[in-house]
């Protein structure tokens, strides 16, 4: 019963992404529809249930938890969950507790997160232009996010910026973002836009900016050295020799990064997705609520891991958005 989680392709599962809410205070155009219909709160796992599931995964070998949403810090009482997970950091069973956030609530929560053992966080930020930020987030305020990032750094947490590469939107800010991060001691990761969700008028093919092109533009100005470093996620990293800065590339479209995938994703309703780019999922809420001893839950987790696919099917080749999945990015937590 203590055997580690190994998928059919001999990959140990050591990384769990936990979406604690589908709600967000932004409506980023590549993540959500403007008029989202959110889940009834009664369908969400309670904070205690999130603790039970996370603890079961940790007992089965998960060493990294990344908390996501929606925006995780808008979930009422969320610090109770972080405080509960701190015991696994203290015991050594959990190696890292971290989160991905839009930054809007960091001024409020940064110190508490640091006190719970969160040492680094990812902040999603696609532009440093006030108007463009308002356009792409629909509801967001850039100044609030920048203030939150400052609060996180003041609390001692390392901040990495995640920027979605969008053709015609932030191509002209490539070096602006790079320099801004460098002067503040922050690493930067670019992400190719992925075909997820029915977002109305947003055209994924028109938005798509290949990171091969983005990397080539960086190489015109800097000497790029490939790094062997892995942080448990899909990013591949280079170092800019002139600045020492680390730049990451998440390239589901131009380079399938699935061969070393060690992660699964839990939604706020207890659905376990074994792959971000596939529709297959396992319901963990029913066995969780049916058995207080977690035996059925563990059985369901093990059965799900045995269905983990080799890789996703995202593909923009032949000028078509192939491999699209119907759920919004906010549903699975990225």
Q: Are the beta carbons of 96 and 231 closer than 8 angstroms? A: no
- Binding residue numbers: 17, 24, 28, 30-31, 66, 70, 100, 124, 160, 194, 258, 261, 263-265, 275
Average pLDDT over the chain, rounded to whole?
A: 88
- Binding residue numbers for [4Fe-4S] cluster: 24, 28, 31, 258, 261, 275
Report the pLDDT value the prediction gives residue 313, as an integer from 0 to 100: 56
Instruction: Tell me how far apart the alpha carbons of residues 125 and 132 are, in angstroms, rounded to a whole number.
Output: 11
Q: Is the pLDDT of residue 320 over 60?
A: no
- Binding residue numbers for GTP: 17, 66, 100, 160, 263-265
Instruction: Tell me how far apart the alpha carbons of residues 309 and 89 are, in angstroms, rounded to a whole number.
Output: 30
**What string of DSSP letters covers 118-160?**
--EEEEE---S-HHHHHHHHSS--HHHHHHHHHHHHHTT-EEE
**Residue tagged 């850039």 (tokens):** 142
pLDDT digits over 5-60, tens only? 999 999 999 999 999 999 998 888 888 887 888 888 888 999 999 999 999 999 99
Q: What are phi and psi of 261, to 5 degrees?
A: -65, 125
Using CB atoms within 10 A of its CB, is residue 144 exposed (0-12), middle (13-18) or buried (19+)? middle
- The CATH code for residues 15-332 is 3.20.20.70
Supply the pTM of this predicted model.
Answer: 0.87
* CA-based nearest residue to 104, from 69, 131, 156, 80: 69
Q: Is the pLDDT of residue 88 over 80?
A: yes
Helices (H), the chain: 47-59, 78-91, 106-115, 130-137, 142-154, 174-183, 204-207, 211-221, 285-290, 295-305, 329-332
Strand, helix or coil at 188?
Answer: strand
- Binding residue numbers for S-adenosyl-L-methionine: 30, 70, 124, 194
pLDDT digits over 123-166, tens only? 999 999 999 999 999 989 999 999 999 999 999 999 999 999 99
């Amino acid at each position: 019963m203590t055997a580690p989680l190994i998928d059919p392709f001999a990959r140990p599962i050591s990384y769990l992404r936990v979406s604690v809410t589908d709600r967000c205070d932004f409506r980023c155009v590549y993540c959500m529809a403007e008029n989202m219909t959110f889940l009834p709160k009664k369908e969400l796992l309670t904070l205690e249930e999130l603790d039970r599931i996370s603890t079961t995964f940790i007992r089965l070998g998960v060493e990294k938890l990344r908390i996501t949403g929606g925006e995780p810090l808008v979930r009422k009482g969320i610090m109770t969950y972080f405080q509960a997970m701190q015991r696994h950091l203290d015991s050594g069973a959990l190696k890292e507790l971290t989160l991905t956030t839009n930054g809007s609530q960091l001024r409020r929560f940064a110190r508490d997160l640091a006190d719970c053992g969160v040492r680094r966080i990812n902040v999603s930020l696609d532009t440093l232009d006030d108007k463009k930020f308002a356009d792409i987030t629909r509801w967001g305020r850039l100044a609030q996010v920048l203030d939150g990032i400052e609060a996180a750094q003041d609390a001692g947490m390392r901040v990495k910026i995640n920027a979605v590469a969008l053709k015609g939107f932030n191509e002209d800010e490539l070096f602006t973002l790079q320099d801004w991060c460098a002067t503040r001691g922050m690493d930067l990761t670019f992400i190719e836009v992925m075909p997820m969700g029915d977002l109305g008028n947003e055209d994924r093919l028109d938005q798509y900016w290949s990171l091969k092109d983005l990397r080539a533009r960086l190489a015109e100005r800097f000497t790029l050295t490939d790094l062997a470093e892995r942080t448990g996620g899909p990013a591949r990293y280079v170092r800019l020799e002139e600045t020492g800065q680390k730049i990451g590339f998440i390239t589901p479209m131009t380079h399938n990064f699935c061969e070393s995938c060690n992660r699964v994703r839990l939604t706020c309703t207890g659905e376990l997705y074994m792959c971000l780019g596939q529709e297959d999922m396992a319901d963990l809420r029913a066995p969780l609520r049916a058995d207080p001893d977690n035996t059925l839950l563990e059985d369901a987790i093990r059965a799900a891991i045995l269905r983990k696919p080799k890789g996703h099917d995202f593909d923009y080749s032949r000028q078509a958005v192939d491999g699209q999945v119907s759920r919004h990015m906010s549903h699975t937590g990225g």
